[in-house]
Amino acid sequence: MLKFIFILSLAIFFSFSSRGYSQALVIEDEVAIREVIGRQLSQWNSGSIDGFMLGYHNHDSLRFIGKNGIMLGWNNVKQMYQKSYPTAKEMGKLTFETDQIRSLGKSADVERALVVGKWFVVKEGPHKQEIKQNGNFSLIFRKIDGKWLIISDHTN
């Protein structure tokens, strides 16, 4: 009976492992994801929405969930950012605190990862006072053609 339980336990373990339920992310993939986020920060802080958008999958399936609801499509997300932040001054300086980066598994050769954290923006107000804004985010990255890109962004 003990042997049966041991074999059953191994079968369940390998079944879940082969389906990609592991939360561990290969260190190279975590580094690559952090590099994408780092490039986005750099581009945002230099006032480039175009550069910032390079971290997103340029596809109609890109999903952005924010205070105004769900938005689909890379072009729509880019237009939303351009409308909300028309100048570098209005973009301010962005920083992130990453609370978690973990694998969402691999299914049918599709790798995904979840990034959860906080964002902070400091910018100058109309009377030169400092305005601070912050919120939370969860990003779903997908490895596409060897590159990690954001396919879903939930930011508030």
Residue 63: its pLDDT value, please? Answer: 98
- For tokens 């079944």, the residue is 15
C-alpha to C-alpha distance for 35 and 143, rounded to whole angstroms: 14
Residue 9: its pLDDT value, please? Answer: 44
- Cβ atoms of 29 and 113 within 8 Å: the answer is yes
Between the CA atoms of 32, 114, 21 and 27, what dihedral angle is there, to the nearest 10 degrees?
20
- Cβ atoms of 10 and 16 within 8 Å: the answer is no
Per-residue pLDDT tens digits of the chain, which is 156 residues long: 544 443 434 344 444 444 444 467 899 999 999 999 999 999 999 999 999 999 999 999 999 999 999 999 999 999 999 999 999 999 999 999 999 999 998 888 789 999 999 999 999 888 889 999 999 999 999 999 999 999 999 999
Residue 2: its pLDDT value, please? Answer: 46
- Assigned token pair, 4: 């049966």
Q: What CATH number is given for 23-155 in this structure?
A: 3.10.450.50
Residue whose C-alpha is closest to residue 100's, from 118, 80, 88: 118
Instruction: Specify which residues 26 forms β-bridges with.
Output: none
Domain ranges of the chain: 23-155
pTM exceeds 0.75, yes or no: yes
**What is the number of other CB atoms lying within 10 angstroms of the CB of residue 47?**
15
The amino acid at 17: S
Residue 62: its pLDDT value, please? Answer: 98
Residue 1: its pLDDT value, please? Answer: 52
- Cβ atoms of 118 and 136 within 8 Å: the answer is yes
The amino acid at 73: G
